[in-house]
Each structure stands twice: as C-alpha cells, then as structure tokens.
Structure 1
Amino acid sequence: MAEGLSAVARTGRHAAHVTAATAAGFYPALYLLDRPVAGVYALFTPIAFGILSPLPGAGRERAATVLRALPAAAVLVALGTVLAVGTWPAVAGMLAVGFALAFGTACGPRIAGAAPGLQLFYILACFPPYAPGTLPQRLIGLAVGGALLALAEAVLFPDAPEAPYRERIAGALDLAARAAAGAARGEEPDPEAAGRLEAAGRELRLSRLPAGARPTGAGRTDRALAQAGAATRRLLDQLALLAAHVPAPGDTVSADLLRGTAASCAETAAALRRGARGRGPRGRVLAGPQLLEEMVADFLKARGGASGGREPVPRAVLVRRSTVLTAAVSAVTVRTAASLALGGRERLHGLPREQFWYAAEGPARLVAVRIRGNLTRRSVVFQNALRTALGLALARLVAGSLDLTHGFWVLLAVLTLGRTTAGATWSAVRAAAAGTLAGAFAAGLLIVGAGGASAVYAALLVPMMLVAFTLGPLGGPSWGQGLFTLVVATAFAQIAPVTWRLAEARLVDVLTGSAIGLLCGLLAWPAGARAEIRYAMSGLLRAAAPLVRATATAVTDGGGRDAATAGSGMPTAGSGVPTAGSDTTPPGSDMPTDGSDMPPAGSGVPPAGSGVTPSGPSPGVRLTLHRLRIAEAAYAQYRTEPAADAAGAAHDWLAVLDHGSRTLVGAYWLPRTDGMPGLPPDARRWAREAAEEVVTATVRAAGFPPDGVRVRPASLPPEVAERVPVPLLASLTDVEVWLRALARDLEAGSPPRPEDTP
C-alpha cells in the first residue's frame, strides 16, 4: 500500500513538472508572441523529455540530462526541417535517425532514457509543410521548453536524490569486513550470518536497481562500478561459504589474510562513501592494494604446507585456504575497481590488465568497443534498433503517401506502442486502440460543445495535462492514449480552428501506427529475447568449452610467460595462483564479471597460459568474452519480457552466465608460467580427464537436453595426491575446486529432473 502511494506521489510530482514547463512555454508563445510554431515545440519538448523519455535519476540529474540533450535535439530538428522537402528524403532520414538513436541505447541508461524523446524531434520536424523559414521558431521553442523543464525538475517539488550504487557497494563491504574479521577469529559456523551475506549479495544485483540507476554505460566509471559490484557479490558469496563451515584450528596463515581482507574492505567502503573528494597524490583515491597484495604473496608461500612444505596439509584445509585466497583477491579486485570508478589514475602494478583493460582507454574508444560488440544480428540491441527504425520509416512512408492529417501521430504510435515481442505489442495495441477510441469520442464531444471558444480550451489544457500525465503512466496504454488524445485535441484547438474531425484523424493515425508497429513486430524477431536467449547461451557454452580444456592443460604443462612485476609483491597471472580479479562468480550475479565488453586486441598485458598472447587475447578468449556480452544483453531483455515460455523458464540462465564468466576467470589466473615440473603422470592425467568431463558436459549442455546435464568431475584420488609434491598440491586443489564450480553451474542451469521436483 505504501509503495503504491509512493509511486502515485512520484508520478504526480513528475506530471506537475511537465505540466508547469509546458504551460509556461506554450501560452506565452501562442498568446503573447503570436508564434504558434514556437508554441508547438515549447509544448512537445517537455512532453518528449518528461513523458516519452524515461530519464534516470532524481530531479537535478534529469534536469542535467535534458540540458545535455538539447543540442542533439536541435540538430535533429534542423535535419528533419531540411528533409521534409519530400517523402523519400524524410523516410531515409527516419530510417537512419531511428536506427542510430535506438542502437545508441547500448551505450548507457542516460542515452537509452533520452532516445525516445529525441526521436520525436525528428518526427515533428520531418512532416509537411516544408518550411525552412520556421526553423528559428522551432529552435527557440525547443530551447524554451527544454530550459523550463530542466528548471521545473530542479526546483519544483524536487525528488529526493537516490542513493548511488557505490553506496550500496560500501554497505556490502562493511558487512564483508565484519564477516572476514569474524572468520579470522575462528568464529563457529553461523548459518544466519551466511544468509545475511548472501542476501546482501542479492541486493547488489542490478535487477534490484531502477533501470536508469544501473552502471551499464560504456564509460570508464560505469564499467568500474559494475566490476566493483560484481566482485563484491563474489566476495560476499565466498565469505558466506566460510561462515557456514567449521574453521580450521591453528590455521594462522588464513587468519592473517582474512584480517588483511577485512581491513581492505573497510577502507574501500570508506572511500566509496567519500567519493572522488578524497583523491590523494598522483591521482590515487585509495592508498592502493599493495599491503593486501603482500599478504597474499606471503599466504601463497605458506599455503602449500607447514614446515617449509615438507608436511602435508589435510584436504579440507587446502580447500578452505583456496576459498580464503579467492576472497582476498576478490577484495583486491573491488579495491582496484572502486579506485578506478572514483577517478583514480594509478597504474595497475601486478594486476591482470585484461581484467581492467578499460582503465587506460579513452571515452571514444570505450564507446567504439561497446558499439562494435553489438553490431551483430544476434545482439538484441541491434534487433530492437532495426525493428524500431524499420517501423518508423514505414510509418513515415505510409503517412506521407496517404497524406494523413497530423501524420506524425502515426509515428508516435509506432514509437510508444512497439514492444520487443509480437505478443506484448499486440497487448499494447489492443489497449491503446480502446483508449484512443474513448479519448477520440470525448474529444469530439468537447470540440462540438466548445466550438471555437479558445478560452475554454486554454482553461482546460493545464488540468487535463496534469491528469493525463499522472494517470497515463500508471494506467497503461489504454489510459495513456485516451488521455493524451484529449490533451492534443485541446492544444491544437487553440493553435488553429478545428472540428470534430480532428478526433477522427487522431483515431485513424493511432490505428494506422498500431497496425504498422504490429506488422514489424510480427516480421522482425517476434519472439524477442525468448528465442534469442537460447542461441546466445548455447553460443556462450560452445565458446567456453575449449577454454576449459586449454586452461587445464596450461596449468599442468605451462607454456606461458613470467608476468610478475618487479617489486609489486603480488603474483601475477601465470604463477599458478589467483591474481587480483581472479574470483569466481556466485549464482545469481547478473552483470559481467569484469565490467567489460570484448576487450580490444593489444590492450594490456595478457596472463600466461590462457591462450592470450602479448598482442592481446587469443581468439578463444575474445570469442568467449564476446559471447558472454551478447548473452548478458539477451538475458537483460529476457527479464523484461512477459509470459516466458515454459521451456525457457525451466533453465536458470544466470547459472549459464556464471559458467561462462567463471571459465574466463579461470583462464586468467589458473595457468602457470612453467607448468608443474615434478608432477606425477597420473596426477597430470587426472587433471586432463577431469577437465574433459566438464568440457563434454558443457558441449552437451549447449544443446539444452530435456533431462539436463549432471556431471561430477572425478576428485583427485588420495593415492595420487600422496605422490604430488606438497607445493604443487595447492594448485591442483585450485583446479579441482574450479572444475567442480563449473559443474555446479551446468547443473544449476539445467531443468530439474522429474524425480527432483516435489
């Protein structure tokens, strides 16, 4: 109940902003200055940015977005004014503009929020009459409407600012610091504490944030925040495992590293709350992870065994130490990513640069990488952009060819009613048709009753906008289209004499646009992400399978380079141990593990043995990264689409994403530079066969068999483990833990067997 009232109040405040800005621009332009063209643009600019565009953030943030978008809107108005010379030039322009703006949504939530409103400015300008002489009036109306909306958003009943994502990360890190400190003290297992850690990790999922508040942009800050959030979720998951298991008495090596992890988490949380204000010398936001790196290096020297590595360590202790180490390097990843997100410019000594490849790239390069990664017909962003562009272009052609009155309403219907699936589009079209019919009938009665009395329309416009902009977003397409029909009829009746046929034209245009939108929805990827997600996930699994085999081979046979940085104190990739960023992804994470798209060739120094060469990632790594990004985009859209099919709902797609990202993380940190000289042949054979079990299961899972995939990689036999030199046994334990985690992901992503269901 409280949430519902809060939503109504928030929508009402926003409606008041738009109504105030519209009235303050429209009335003076029309009645004081006698500039109806400027009045039209002063009317539609607040509507475009305030109603049609779901701008993210609170009032001041939305105001800043509006002001930044005005130059682009002016360019589109000028372009549409020029191309209105003929139907075909306008259609060609609509195709290009529609695709560019819809495809640009891949670059972040602010662009995605402003894109529908920007589409409207070209739509308005590209319709007859061809009147380039009115361009100054159009631009003045645009500027006045935009400035008034920004002012209203900033000062009129402003929304309370939303807590940024970095504060959520800071709160989770505080919890992680307490959990790590408790584990260092050897506290007894606490299932409730483990549950709290897991719940805190779920709260960091981007699906728990409003769409506009998610750090999904192409820029450095958003990538770093996404990486920090993903690493924090992994850290919480690893600490939950420690909290639920009995500690190892006398394991002082792990206790020291856990204390360092706790201190690092607390300091990173404090820095995230301070923001970039706390930047120190040389552009550093944090003092750097060197202390924790040194503690990790000491831990690695000691974890293979006690007494200089001559005495064996129990298997349970080795597994626990592997978890402690993974938690520590997760903390280093969080710390580094947080520093980058806050504007830190420090060099990444001893860290795998492929994990932080974006740190040294400029904004233009990062945007280019994001765009290039989505320029494929398998990208749902590309599919949506092409569907939108074709629909708008066809609508412009139909409206121009048939010379429809107020033909831009046809395109507006396509823009507002189009959905990513044909079924959802049909539902929206049905509701909109009913609402428009009712609105047209009411508008016709109003026009017949009021006649040419402009004062009546002027008096009704403000309350009508306030009601329409409040109830429309809450009531759905039916209420939205019906009430908006009344708004435009009331506004246009003040600009020029009208008859009841204006309502008829509105109904015809909306129905025409609805039919065009439905046609495009049926012909262009009608199933939306529900069909694409299977292909994307299958491609990810097929790309990841060979990487599992290559990684396991690189662990035992080596063949990489010595990437250690002198004086860093932190082992790098190729040392056979986890490096910063070398953590696994917990079930339920819904973002990339490294905040990246497909990193460009030649960006950074690659880890050894993972199929990565000094010139950049190998084709296998690049392909897996690319497939992961495409699969993540498909899953993000899949979550927004209604009525998922039963076959798709049976799969845990997040577990498939976890499998892909976990494979990449293993490829970064597991391989050794020199292999494992002295490793017994039967241990080498075990690693190869266990990896092959996971590879075979991964390939089988890519076909989504009805009975799912169940795989249990063989454990390292005790008699074999006894013959493995103690310093090498820890690395083999890392491989075993990694393969078992991959197997769990495959099982979690499979539909439950009949005997498994209650």
Structure 2
Amino acid sequence: MTRGRRDGGRVHPGQVPGGALAWLRGRDPGLAALRRALRAAILTPLVLAGTYFGLDRPDIAVFAAFGTLVLTLFVDFGGPMRERIAGQTALILATTVITCLGTLAGRTLWLTGSVTFVIAFCVLFSGIVSSALAGATTSLLFAYILPVTLGGPLGAIPAHAAGWGLGGAASMIAVTLMWPVPASEPLRVAGAHACALLAGRLRAEVDCAPDPAVHGQALDTAVREARQGVADLRKTFYGTPYRPTGLSLSSRAVVRLVDQVIWLGSVLHRDPPRNRDALSELMVCETKMATVELLEHSAALLQADVSVPHGLDPHVTRLEEARSRLEESMIGLLPRRSAVPVARAGNGTAPAAAPGPADILIGSLGPSFRAQSMSYVVSAIAGNVQLAVTARQRSRRDRLLGRRPPGSDSALSSVRERFAAHLSRNSVWLHNSLRGAAALSLAVVIAHLTGLDHAFWVASGTLAVLRSNAVSTGQTVRRALLGTVLGFVVGAPLILALGAHPVVLWLLLPVAILLVGMETAVTAFTAGQAGFTVVLLVLFSIIDPEGWQLGLVRIEDVALGCAVSLVVGLLLWPLGAAAALGRVLCDALGDGARYLRGAVVTGLALCDRAGAADPAVSDDDRRRALASARRLDDAFREYLSERGTKHLALADVTALVDAVTILRLTSDAVTDLWSRAGQAPGHGRAAAGQEILDSCESLTSWFESAGRALAGGGAAPGRPLSRPVVQAALRGSVSRDLRAGTEQGTATAVRMVWMADHLDTMRRLQAEIDGPVSAAAASVRRQRARRRDLRAGLTWPRPPTARAGTRPGSPRRD
C-alpha cells in the first residue's frame, strides 16, 4: 500500500485516503452524489423505523420511506438557501397532491390509463419551464407511480398523503441541515471569467497596435486565454442535461449572456484590419478602450454579484458616446478626404491609379465596422449583467409584488414563449414527453390487466430504461435485467440467511441505498439497478416479509417494464437524438436565414424612400429564430447525453450549433444598425440595394440548403462564393451620397457599407462550417442507407411465382 509522509501533522497527498478522495472528486464534482446518497441512507431507515414501529402503520411506512428516498436522492436544488427551501417546499406540496391523484386514478382501469398519460405528459413537458423543474420530474413521477400501482380505497388517501408528507419533512431537514451544498452558480462564474479574458484580449490588441513587435507575444497569450475562456463557458453551459435556466429574471439574463459571449469571441477571432489613417485609428482605439472598460466592469459586477450605485451606467454612456463619435468621424471626414487631389505618376505625364471617394470610404470602414460590432455586443452583455444583478438584489417585497427592473419581461411571458417554442413536431422535448407518457401509461395498464401484485416495479422498470432511441433503450434493457438478476443473486441469499435477523436487514438497508445514490457518479447503471433491487428486497422484506420469492417477482416485473419501454421506443422514436438534431438544425438555420433576410430588407427600405418594410414581419422572424434556437439547445443536450456511438465529431456539431447563434445575433446587429438611423434623403440607391439583396439571397439560400442537407433532404450546398458583397452598384451609390455632401446621405452610405460587411462576415462563417455541413450530410446519407438496407433485410420475401401480373399460388402460364 502506498504510504505518505507526515510533516507537522499534515498528511501528504501520497496517502491512500487523499488519493481515494481525489478520485471520487474527479468522478463526482463537489461530492454532490455522495451528499445525496448519505442523506438518503441516513434518513430513510430512520423515517421507516419511526413510522413502522412508532405508528404501527405499514401503509404509512411505505409512503414515508419512499417519499424520503425519492425527495432526497433524486433531486437537489441549487442556488441560495432561500431558493432551495422554496423549491423543496413546492416539490413536497406538488408530490403530495400527485400522490392523492394517483390513489384516485388507481381504482378503475380506464381512468388509470388516461390519467397516467395526462399526468406523465404534463410532468415531463413542464420541464421546459426551468432546469429545477426538469430535474424534479423523476420525483414527481415516482410520487404518482407508487400509489397508482399499489392501489387502495378512497379511505387510503389520508394515509398515503401523511406518509409522503413525513418523507417530505425529512427531506427538508436534509436540505437545510445535512451538509447543505455551498451556493454556487457555475454558469455565472464561467461567464464572468470569459468576459474578463475577452476584455484582456481586446486590451492587449489595443496595446499592440502602436508597436506589434513589442506586444505581439502578450497578444498571442491573451488570444489563447480568451479562446479557452469561451470554450470553458460553452462546456459549462452544455455540461448539464437541461438548459440551466429558470423563471427568475437573473437566471434568464445569465443564459442570454452565453450566446452573446460566444458571438463576441467569434468577432474578436477575426484579425483586425489595419488602418493607415491616424485620425480614424484614434477613434477606433477610443471605442475599443470604452468597450474594454465596460466589459471589465461587467465581468467584475457579475463575479461579485453585488449591486452598486448606478451600476454600469457611466461606462455604458461612455461607450455610447464613443460609438457616436466614431460614426460621426466617419461621416465628417470622408467628404473632406474625397477632395484631396490625386497624385500624379513620378514622371509627371500621367496620373497614378488611386482609389476614388467610394473606395476610400469602403477601405476605411473596415476597422470601424469591427469596433462597431464589438461595442454593440458588449453593450448587450452589459445590459444582461446589469439586469441579472439588479433582479437578484431586489427586496423581498418587490419580489412578492412582481416588480421588475425596466426593460425586463415577465415570468408568464417567458413561460408562454417556451411552451410555444416546443409545440413543434421537431421538438425533442415534445417527443420525449409523448414517449415517456405513452410508455408509463401502457406499463400501468398492462400491470393492472395481468394482475401483478407488484405493478410498481413494472412502471419503475419502464421509467429506468427509457432512452432517446430504440438502440440505446435495448442496451439499457440488457443492463437493467442484468442488474436486477445480480441484485436478486445478492439479495435473495441475504434474505434467506438474515430473514430471522431483522436487525441485520435494517443495517443492510443504508448500504444498499448508498450504492444506488452513487450510481450516477461512480458505479455503472447495472450496479445501480442491482442496488435498487437489493433496496426493494430489503425494504419490502422489512415491511411485508415474502422471502426470496420477492426477487423472482421483481425480475419478471422489470422484464415486462423493459419490454414496454423498448416497444414504445421503437414505435414513437426509433432514430434517436442524432436524427432529431439534424431536423432541428434544419429549422434553426432556415429560421435564422429568414430573419437575416428580413433584417436586410428592413434596412434597405430605410436607405431609399421608395422602399417600404413592415417591422412586425421582422419581429415575427426574430421570434421564430429564438424558438428554433431553444429547440436546438435541447436537441444538442439530448445528443450529448445519448449513449452509443457518435457518428460526427463533437467539434463539427458544436460549430454548427454556434453558427446558428452567430447567424441570429448578426441579424440582431443589422436590425440595431438601422434602428438608430433616420430616413435617408432622395432616391438612387435601388441598384446598390438590389446588389446587397441579391448577395443576401445567395447567403440565406446557402444556409437553407445546408439545413435541408443536415435533415437528409438533399446534398450539401458546396463551398460558398468568397467574393465580397461590395460591388460596382454599391460604389456608385456611395459616390452619389458623397457628392451630395449631406450628412444624412453620408450616414446612410456608412450604414450600407457596414451592412455589406455583416454579410461578408456571414460568408466567412459559411466557409468555416462548410466542412462540418458536408461531413454531417454525408453521415445522414450513410445512416439512411443503412436503415434502407435493414428494412430490406426485414421485408418478407415474395414467393418465386409472384411476378408481375400473377398472384401467389396461381398456375404458371407457359
């Protein structure tokens, strides 16, 4: 055995206990699973003993023991203690009501099946509201499954509710007193860290501008750290099975911040264009420094999570003033530049080729466009940070009265948006909810029809093995049955040997519960299922001794539940999350492309009085793009958590998901660009507008074709064109605006060029995801070909005599 040294009473990491603890922390971050398992292992036997011996009511004891086990082992709310207590209280009340409904529904068969489907669907589908509610679905379903399968008269409702209420009271003790988890918000911490690193990267870029040779190494280091910070934020965001958000204003603001930080990282990833004009470079640097200060203070405020007087308002004001001065400098300097005479060639006989006014404008707006994009997204980040901190620091009275900070939406409107987003045929959450509800209702009905004494195990077996595709469900069926058999092999001899010694059974119960609790972090699913079998064997042997026959009954019931789960998986969703992800990506890319097209059309309408656009149409496009993004988030998480072989590299899938985010936020930026513009004077921009519109159509058509290819609706669109958007018609329109000499005309020219730059950015995004799109489309075609071959192999062969024009069994015609 490895030995460690001791110095001054300190035990060095070389010792076995330290190494074991480090290994456990690596498998169970924060020891969350161990904390839940210890709570359940201690409290469940205590509550069972108190109700069984103290009250002498086995019916209350069953519900008290399961209530304690379910409410402490299968759910663990996060956040401050106040929010945890509120969440646990709401869960106890909800599960108690559901327990009563389950007792009522278990009396007649037709009522059992229909009510089970409705309740299971509502519980599963309501998880889209918040991650806390999604994490509590197992507890809510067990609270219904237990009474509806055990049955009982109407007079049993008080006993069932009392038992479950006692279990809930024990769980409240566990949450508040037994190793309460430290308040932590990893998403907020990761977001603050990423913002700080991005601010450092931008500051290093400003420092490097005067002398790249001196500060180049520092800039390279800052670039690497910023990319790693964004990658860590993405990993934290997608590291949970559910979208880490709730109905609180603070959590919603932090989640919105994630997309904006990812987009800011993509904006900074592009190398800054060089600007040889000293005055323009000065204005760009001023805007960058204002952006850096706002981003640094946003990161510090988000990290500290403490409201300060005026918050970020002074820094936001400074950035807005810097943006205005940058735009005004571009508008004011360009007409004077165009008046500079063109230099002649060295021999004085012919003029040298020099750019015209439009070329000067277009060439000088590159650095300012990047600075304008950065300032826009950082302003949005600061707004969400300010909202998150302000909402959290509200008084209790303001929370109770529903008073919200200005510019924030209500929790009810957020719920409506989330439900509306997932009422779609391509919603992974809707598929999972329908499939789970159908499987549980079918399992309960079959258990009642067959007259099984322990129908609860049929439903619990169905719930345990139901996965997102038939293949994964089949694999989990094998593991569940193997675990149940192993649990029977271990538990049956124990029951036989220790049946006459109930004290030993009581001592064995917490050990089995501890094994079940550590299944998600340390042990495998099979071991957890074996532990759950031992827990049930011991628990029911204590309450209602039946001997080793109970283990055989459990094996039969679990096998039936697994069969139900496999059949429902084959019927409702045999292809799993990978196929669903392709369809949701198709919707998201298509809706994002339509939103970009609508934003460009709206901007072009403001460029020329002859144009007209309906702002409501653009708002509808934005809502559809947001809804698709929400469905994509859930489909991507389901894809990450799904067992089995992944046919695509994770980096390629992540690039496609990020592309949807960048496409949507770029459309937001185009909309914001023209929201601050007045009506442009005169006409004459139709040709330039048509050129920009044609380029936009080419871009959006490519994204739509890529989406269809990801869903299996065609081949990949191929490598997009790399030519810039700015062409002759746009140069001509800009030249006319400069010759007119009006400030509004020049401002319109600047915005037209910036909008064209946004479209060029989308072209670069197309080039970046062209490889992942082609790889994903090829994988979809291969999977479809395999499924066709499988169906062909399963098709019943026709008899040799069954040819065209004949029927099987008819005489042959010579």
Give the TM-score of the pair, scaled to structure 1. Answer: 0.83
CA distance in 1: counterparts of 2:405 and 2:645, whole angstroms: 36
Aligned position for 1:712 = 721
| Correspondence for 1:404 | 452
Match of 1:39 in 2: 61
Q: 1:163: Cα distance to partner?
A: 4.1
- Amino acid across the alignment from 2:497: G
Amino acid in structure 2 at the alignment position of 1:112:
A
Larger displacement relative to structure 2 (447-456 or 96-105): 447-456
Question: Equivalent of 2:487, from 436, 439, 442?
Answer: 439
**Is residue 2:290 matched to residue 1:260?**
yes
- Secondary structure (helix, strand or coil) at the match of 2:545 reads coil
Residue 155 of structure 1 pairs with residue 202 of structure 2: no
Relative to structure 1, the CA distance from residue 655 to residue 450 in structure 2 (aligned partners, 3 Å threshold; closer, same or farther) is closer
- 2:15 matches 1:15: no
1:554 paired residue number: 602
CA contact (8 A) 2:516 2:529 kept: no
Give SS of 1:668's match.
helix
Residue deviations 1:470-512 (CA, integer Å, cap 9, x gap): 3565322211111111111111111122122111111111111
Offset of 1:452 from its aligned partner? 4.4
Greater RCO structure (CA 8 Å; 6+ sep)? 1
Match of 1:510 in 2: 558
Could you say which residue in structure 1 is the equivalent of 2:162? 140
Q: State the alpha-carbon separation in 1 of the partners of residues 555 and 636 from structure 2.
A: 36
Correspondent of 1:324 among 371, 393, 398: 371
Report the equivalent of 2:634: 633
Is 1:489–2:540 an aligned residue pair? no
Partner amino acid, structure 2, of 1:5: L
1:469–1:612 Cα change, 3 Å: same
Unaligned runs of 5+ in 1: 347-355, 562-607
Contact 1:414 1:514 survives alignment (8 Å): yes
Indicate conservation of the 8 Å contact 1:468/1:480, yes or no: yes
Amino acid at match of 2:123: L
Whichever structure has more helix as a proportion of its residues is 2
Give the alignment's Cα RMSD to 1 decimal. Answer: 3.4
Following superposition, the deviation at residue 344 of structure 1 comes to: 5.0
How far did 1:116 drift?
0.9
Letter aligned with residue 97 of structure 1: I
Q: Conserved in 2, the CA contact under 8 Å of 1:414 and 1:517?
A: yes
SS in 2 for 1:497: coil
Q: Secondary structure at the match of 1:204?
A: helix
1:610-649 C-alpha deviation (Å, 9 max, x unpaired) = 7423xx8554444333333333332232222234664797
Matches within 5 A, 1:580-619: 611-613=614-616, 617-619=618-620
Aligned equivalent of 1:744, options 764, 774, 788: 764
**In structure 2, distance between residues paired with 1:409 and 1:610:** 61
Q: 1:197 to 1:108 in 2, by over 3 A?
A: same
- Kindly report which structure 2 residues correspond to 1:351-370, keeping only aligned pairs within 5 A, or say none: 359-370=407-418
Contact kept in structure 2, 1:383 and 1:525, CA below 8 Å: yes
Separation in 2 of the partners of 1:205 and 1:135? Answer: 47
In the alignment, structure 1 residue 721 sits paired with structure 2 residue 724: no
Q: In the TM superposition, what is the alpha-carbon distance from 1:322 to its structure 2 partner?
A: 0.7
Give, in angstroms, the shift of residue 389 of structure 1. 0.3
Q: Which position in structure 2 is the counterpart of 1:295? A: 322
Contact kept? 2:275, 2:364, Cα under 8 Å: no
Paired residues, number = 695
Secondary structure at the aligned position of 1:342 is classed as helix
Q: Does 1:100 align with 2:147?
A: no
Contact 1:183/1:258, CA 8 A, preserved across alignment:
no
Asked whether the 8 Å contact 1:417–1:517 carries over to 2, the reply is yes
Relative distance call for 1:689 and 1:368 in structure 2 (3 A) is closer
Equivalent position amino acid for 2:638 in 1: Q
SS in 2 for 1:230: helix
- Partners in 2 of 1:166 and 1:80 — Cα distance? 39
Counterpart of 2:246 in 1: which secondary structure?
coil
Distance 1:307 1:526, change over 3 A: closer
Larger radius of gyration: 2
Q: List runs of 5+ in structure 2 lacking aligned partners.
A: 1-18, 339-356, 394-403, 739-745, 779-814
Alpha carbons 2:606, 2:680 under 8 Å: kept = yes
On the 8 A contact 1:215/1:225 being kept in 2, the answer is: no
Residue 121, structure 1, aligned to residue 151, structure 2: no
Bigger mean CA offset, 146-155 vs 67-76: 146-155
Of 60, 65, 72 in structure 1, the residue corresponding to residue 94 of structure 2 is 72
Partner of 1:334: 381
Seen in structure 2, the aligned counterparts of structure 1 residues 647 and 410 have a Cα distance that, compared at 3 Å, is same
Contact 2:629 2:661 in 1 (8 A): no
Q: 1:645 to 1:611 in 2, by over 3 A?
A: farther
Asked whether the 8 Å contact 2:468–2:576 carries over to 1, the reply is yes
Q: Name the aligned partner's letter for residue 328 of structure 1.
A: S
1:684 aligns with 2:689: yes
Q: Which of the residues 522, 530, 538 maps onto 2:586?
A: 538
Conserved in 1, the CA contact under 8 Å of 2:659 and 2:765?
yes
1:688: how far off? 2.9
AA at the equivalent of 1:543: D
Task: Work out the CA distance in 2 between the residues paired with 1:492 and 1:532.
Answer: 41
1:692-712 superposed Cα distances (whole Å, 9 cap, x missing partner): 321332333233254543222
**Shift, 1:52, TM fit:** 3.5
The 1:494–1:434 alpha-carbon spacing in structure 2 relative to 1, beyond 3 Å, is: same
Q: Which residue of 327, 333, 340 maps to 1:306?
A: 333
Counterpart pick for 1:222 among 247, 251, 273: 251
Kindly indicate whether the alpha-carbon contact (under 8 Å) linking 2:670 and 2:755 is maintained by their aligned counterparts in 1. Answer: no
Query: 1:701 is matched by which residue type in structure 2?
Result: A
Which stretch of structure 1 is more off in the superposition, 527-536 or 200-209? 200-209
Question: In 1, distance between residues paired with 2:458 and 2:613?
Answer: 54
Matches within 5 A, 1:137-216: 137-185=159-207, 186=209, 188=212, 189=216, 190-205=219-234, 207-208=236-237, 210-211=239-240, 215-216=244-245
Q: Select between 468-477 and 261-270 the one with higher mean Cα deviation.
A: 468-477
Please give the secondary structure, in 2, of the residue aligned with 1:749: helix
- 1:403 CA drift (Å): 1.2
How far the C-alpha of 1:466 sits from its partner, in A, is 2.4
Per-residue Cα deviation, 1:247-270 (whole angstroms, up to 9, x for no partner)? 975511112212211221232223
Shift of 1:62: 5.5
In structure 1, C-alpha distance between the alignment counterparts of 2:191 and 2:666, rounded to whole Å: 25
Normalised to the residue count of structure 2, the TM-score between the two structures is: 0.78
- Deviation sequence 1:355-378 (CA, Å, 0-9, x none): x99944322232122112212222
